[in-house]
Amino acid sequence: MPIVQVVILAVVQGLTEFLPISSTAHLYLTSWLLGWQVEQLSFDISLHIGTLLAVVIYFFRDWLQIIGQGLGMSWGHDRELGQNRGLFWLLVIGTIPVGVAGLAFGKQAEGPWRDPFVIGAMLVAVGVLMWIADRRAHKARDLSALDLKDAAVIGAAQALAVVPGTSRSGITISAGLFRGLDREAAARFSFLLSTPAIAAAAAKALYELVKHDGFAALVSPQFTIGVTLSALTGCAVIAWFLRYLRDNTLKVFIYYRIVFGIIVLALAFIRRPA
């Protein structure tokens, strides 16, 4: 894969994975519109690892506190996390639905569902859902108040992210807003909840790659660049997005999704992918 293609797709992944606009849609459509071949498995893994590193690095202290509290230890000084000592187990429960959905529908998500008609429709549909959720949002609850029902609902919403064009962060943040979380808390829980799912996807793909091609594919310049750029870009986006949500709504992302989705559907009618 040419280096310029690696750089563009890695930056696209880092920019779109944590914003509620669907990284899968942007990666697929970038390759489709530019006439590039579908990303190689080794490069796809590099993007998974890069975004996993981004969320782990940014939330490293949070995860130490969450895991420590889940195991009965006192660790960390974050007030919200400290007041919800069962958050680790809520994250475990919330991760179960996406694991089941991935096993049940993984082949469809990587095959027939990766279609511009599906992607465009989901961009618009979830954009409308985000609009409804954002209009109902009010600064009422933070992570200290998150409970079992919240985790179950948001976890079930994350399962829908296996459908290309949905956006993991878009659907889970919307679910959090419907459950009465404030925007920043909904996004923070969304990113924490995404960590096990991204890790599992990366581990599965890495196992398949090593099983068929060995470790040689993991030491290429393309792999290193993909991991590094997607991780650095992802970290920057997480930091910016959480700050943005303290004083702003999701409106700009909603408009973007809907307009982008309409454009994708129009292009799909005009130019079917090969």
Residue position matching structure tokens 């899968």: 24
Q: Is 2 exposed, middle or buried (0-12, 13-18, 19+ CB in 10 A)?
A: exposed
Q: Please count the structural domains in the chain.
A: 1
Q: What is the 3-state secondary structure (H, E, C) of 187-247?
A: HHHHHHHHHHHHHHHHHHHHHHHHHHHCCHHHHCHHHHHHHHHHHHHHHHHHHHHHHHHCC
Q: What pLDDT score does 270 carry?
A: 84
Q: What pLDDT score does 222 carry?
A: 83
Range of the domain at 197: 3-270
- Closest C-alpha among 81, 193, 197 to residue 145: 81
Tokens of 199: 């890790």
Tell me the sheet residues that pair with 141.
181
- Closest C-alpha among 73, 101, 97, 93 to residue 85: 73
User: What are the backbone angles phi and psi of residue 247, rounded to the nearest 5°?
Assistant: -130, 5
Residue 7 CA, distance from chain mean position: 20
Tens of each residue's pLDDT in the chain, 274 residues? 788 888 999 999 999 999 999 998 898 888 877 777 655 556 777 888 899 999 999 999 999 999 999 998 877 788 899 999 999 999 999 999 999 999 999 888 888 888 889 999 999 999 999 999 999 887 789 999 999 999 999 999 999 999 999 999 999 999 999 999 999 999 999 999 999 999 988 888 788 777 766 666 667 788 889 899 999 999 999 999 999 999 999 999 999 999 999 999 998 888 765 5
